[in-house]
Amino acid sequence: MTGVSETDLQHRRDIVAACRQMTALGINQGTSGNISVRVEGGLFVTPSGRAYDEMEPEDIVFMRWDGSWDATPGNVPSSEWRFHLDILRAKPEVNAVVHAHPTYCTILAILNRPIPAIHYMIAVGGGNDIPCAPYAQYGTSELSDAAVAALTERRACLLAHHGLIATGPHLRKALWLAVEVETLARQYHGCLQIGEPPLLPDAEIDSILERWGQYGLRDRPAIEAA
């Protein structure tokens, strides 16, 4: 790509690789997921309707903070660009946003169920649950407002009747968190087949968060799943 810095080109490559990894990890189907990364002057976001196995770095759309955007011919921003933009504007500590429709997260989201403190790993989301934002139609400001509110004190949330959002200080961490939350959702779903599970008390999750300190923000050498 001419006229593009090596840093920006690497961000574009990383987004394409992460999209394909979402499929390989089984946390997304088709082109329903989308990814954004903060860059100078705005963000890179995946294009709308572009198959991941056909996506190239030049297909990634650059969006400014005012919502205007630049793209190569035939590409437009993901239909979910609004909550990517608003989350990155609202949370300066976040540099990447991953949205997907993993099966178990989506099952719980359809039921409007947050994931409670069934396991100490719930703390990876920043608190004692993974909240579920109320339903709003995809691509709307209402959905964006609901997502930003749900993420006020959290790193991940479910979207009612929709899917999952995971955030991170960089793309690898956001994708790692998406896998962790889907693992928690699967565990919770399994528990519900037997009955309502006992939950860890808030004081225990607070203790875990204190013990971990910056655990949730530390770099990891690779994507991990519980």
Is the CB of residue 47 less than 8 Å from the CB of residue 55?
yes
CA distance 189 to 166: 19
Is the CB of residue 133 less than 8 Å from the CB of residue 159?
yes
Q: Helices marked H in the chain — which ranges?
A: 6-25, 81-90, 103-110, 141-150, 171-192, 202-212
Burial of 11 (0-12, 13-18, 19+ CB in 10 A): buried
In this structure, the number of other CB atoms found within 10 A of the CB of residue 146 comes to 20
Catalytic choice (6, 54, 80, 224): 80
CA distances from 107 to 111, 171, 190 (A): 7, 25, 12
Residue 80 known to be catalytic: yes
In this structure, the number of other CB atoms found within 10 A of the CB of residue 31 comes to 18
| Catalytic center residues | 80
